[in-house]
Structure 1
Amino acid sequence: MLFKLNFIKNKQLKRLLEHSSYLTIIFVLVPAFLYFEICIVLPTVVQEWTIPYYLHYICATFLLMNILGNMIFGMFTDTSIRGKHLDSENKDDWTMCAVCECLRPPRAWHCDTCDICILKRDHHCTFFACCVGYYNHRYFMCFTFYIFIAMFYSFYYNIFFLSKFLKWNRGLIIGKFVFPLAAFVIDFGEESIYVFLVEINFIVGVFTGFLFLYHFNNLIKGKVTPERKSCSKEISYNKGLKLNLIEVFGSKWYFTWISPFINSPLPGNGIEWVVENKCQ
């Protein structure tokens, strides 16, 4: 998490303020960035009202639908133990949560921010305002993937746009790239705003690209983040590449990348797990 309010002791207030800060950034930056790309950059690099122009509009709509759609589904898909019937024939690997005061299944961990145990908890996602777990892992993966694609796609055309728009101005443009925020004070104008947006474009693209690759690497190995950090090497939930993909994306794993609205049932319930003990 990039921004924390550790001085606030009330968990609910802290959670509200932290998530509000991030969601405000999203709902301010996304419309601003979309306007910049569609209304300013696109008419500069592609002739208006031509077939390529409409194709770019279709691509932008597809990317925006997947980014916002996966974000909304990820936020409102409950992956906690709340309301779940926690029952299993074998409870040897179950642990006691002192906070929830109940037995929890393997791969379930307690989240201090959500204040409840999460099934197959990977991490707490600030942008989802909830944890990424068994039932919404799919949406997190698609969310980061499509943000990365959108940033890479737009950055390619932003380079052409800047090459036509920017002026050398005795090297001042280099200073604007190195110190974009200071440029607002020294030389506030369209050029400074454009440089700032393109730099945000690049930073978000690199960050989400790394985030997706990190979690996808865990996914294909049948792991979640806590298991990568601390789980015993003798215990493995790895079922092989295809079954690991199905465990996250469901039976229609090859279609879920197209749209968050595609129903793809998961093979399990986040409670029962087949464990491979490498020592046996």
Structure 2
Amino acid sequence: MCFILACTKYLARKNPKVFVRISHPIAVLFVILTTFFFVGLQMFYVMPQLFDVGGMMYKLGWLLAIFIMYNIFGNMVACHITNTSVESLPKDRQVPESGEEQLWHYCDICEKLMPPRSWHCILCKCCILKRDSHCLFTASCIGHNNQRYFFWCTFFMALGTGVAWATHTIATMKYFIYSDLNTDNLPPFWLIFTLILNTYTLAAPVSSVILQISALGHNGPLHDLNSDNLDIALWENFKMILGKKVLWTFLSPTVKSPLAHDGTQWKIKESDISEY
């Protein structure tokens, strides 16, 4: 994994334009195909081994699968189309207020002052408000305005693969529990193979969610998990990225949840009135 990340960063810096043109479509297509593959496998092959296809549990399984898919793809799209660059600010907010000039920093590429916690992305070719990282799977930078959608997207990926892994495991174990270990009663090869595949697939979104929660724990970016000078308590940190509706945003990416501020001013933990 470290080797892949190192190669990705090298190629991105070597030729950003070509990297974006090739990597973004491949990464997005990978998420779409993987999601449909596991949903199809789950609903047409695994679930029928556990529940009657005409029963209530099977129908509830379909409702859960549709809900998870809707939130994965909906949050992916919302993350991609939401402008989180400094240019998304009103013109009067793209310059520091009187007395705040020392808190802003100069971007050599954009050739102007930028708000605190905003950094330039060579792939997006602009400065991003509270830049967290650049995500290939949403084909966008993750920043102040769209971190909510990225969080829920990875959460539902982890939830979906987790549910699939759990039912996969139960369906596989059922063969061992209700058999005498006769060769004819062992789980079919495809079930064991897809369970192993599901296990590997589960690792990526779960790791991403854990990293996101770790970052939320101190209200910092992924590239600086040790800093906690902007930590204002976990619930308040969640509100900073999920907005005023907080956990209601779990239901749908279309839930309107205004953020606490525009991403140019940040409170330091030691003082409620200080701004970073």
Aligned to 2:189: 191
2:135 to 112, 121, 125: 125
Aligned to 1:87: 95
Aligned to 2:34: 29
Aligned to 2:134, what secondary structure does the other structure show?
strand
Q: Distance in 1 between matches of 2:109 and 2:193?
A: 45
Summarize deviations over 1:116-174 as a string: whole Å, max 9, x none: 1110001111101111100111111111111111111111111233346799898xx9x
Q: Distance in 2 between matches of 1:214 and 1:6?
A: 22
Aligned to 2:8: 4
Query: Which amino acid counterpart does residue 71 of structure 2 have in structure 1?
Result: N
Any residues of structure 2 matched to 1:148-187 within 5 Å, and which? 148-163=158-173
Instruction: Tell me if structure 2 keeps the 8 A contact 1:41–1:158.
Output: yes
2:220 equivalent to 1:223: yes
1:16 to 16, 21, 27: 21
Tell me, which stretches of 5 or more residues in structure 1 are unaligned? Answer: 174-189
1:262 to 255, 267, 274: 255
Q: Distance in 2 between matches of 1:264 and 1:222?
A: 18
Tell me, which stretches of 5 or more residues in structure 2 are unaligned? Answer: none
Aligned to 1:239, what secondary structure does the other structure show?
coil
Instruction: Tell me if structure 1 keeps the 8 A contact 2:95–2:113.
Output: no
Query: Which amino acid counterpart does residue 254 of structure 1 have in structure 2?
Result: L
2:201 equivalent to 1:204: yes
RMSD, aligned CA: 2.7
Q: Distance in 2 between matches of 1:200 and 1:4?
A: 23
Query: Which amino acid counterpart does residue 123 of structure 2 have in structure 1?
Result: T
Instruction: Tell me if structure 2 keeps the 8 A contact 1:5–1:14.
Output: no
Superposition TM-score, scaled by structure 1 size: 0.82
Q: Distance in 2 between matches of 1:83 and 1:215?
A: 24
2:234 equivalent to 1:241: yes
1:43 to 45, 48, 63: 48
Q: Distance in 1 between matches of 2:50 and 2:95?
A: 59
Whose helix proportion is higher, 1 or 2? 2
2:68 equivalent to 1:63: yes
Superposition TM-score, scaled by structure 2 size: 0.83
Q: Distance in 1 between matches of 2:182 and 2:75?
A: 43
